[in-house]
Every structure is written in C-alpha cells, then in structure tokens.
Amino acid sequence: MGRGELDLVIRVDGRRIAVEVKTIQTGGLDDPAYAFTSAKAAQVRSLANQLGIGRVDLVAISMTSLGVGIRWIPDVA
C-alpha cells in the first residue's frame, strides 16, 4: 500500500467514505480547508482507491475563542 493514513472511514447508506479531518486553532478567519492541498488530496484519493473507496470528504474544524465551528465538505477528492 501507499504511504499515509486515512483519518476516518465511515459507512453512509451502505457506501464507504474516506474522511480527512483538518483542524486549526485561530483567532481570525482562517479556514482549515486551505490545509487540504492538492498533494494531500491526491494522497488521500490514492489510499481510498486502494481500499475500494469511491468518495473522499473533508471535515474542517475551526477552534476560536468564540467556540468551535465544524464544516463537512463532501466529494473533495
């Protein structure tokens, strides 16, 4: 198998989905989705393909002094 790891593999309606999780702690308006680079997308897609997983989603978590924001972004890679 290739190098790397999958953060989560979940099952939704009988379909397996690979999920990459990106978290940042910030005081501003930074978006953790920016950390999901094209190189990381290719790596996660390759690993997912090796496991027969056809979909990759992203969970972007922002931690600020005001609280925690969680955003689920489907089909990112």
Residue 28 pLDDT: 62
Query: Does some domain include residue 41?
Result: yes
Name the residue range of residue 60's domain.
8-73
pLDDT single digits (tens) 5-61? 999 999 999 999 999 999 988 766 678 888 899 999 999 999 999 999 999 999 999
Residue 74 pLDDT: 97
Instruction: Answer whether residue 1 shows pLDDT above 50.
Output: no
Query: Does some domain include residue 43?
Result: yes
Q: What is the count of structural domains for the chain? A: 1
Query: Does some domain include residue 12?
Result: yes
Neighbours of 66 (CB within 10 A): 8
Kindly report the backbone phi and psi dihedral angles of residue 21, in degrees, each rounded to the nearest multiple of 5, phi listed first.
-115, 125
Query: Does some domain include residue 2?
Result: no
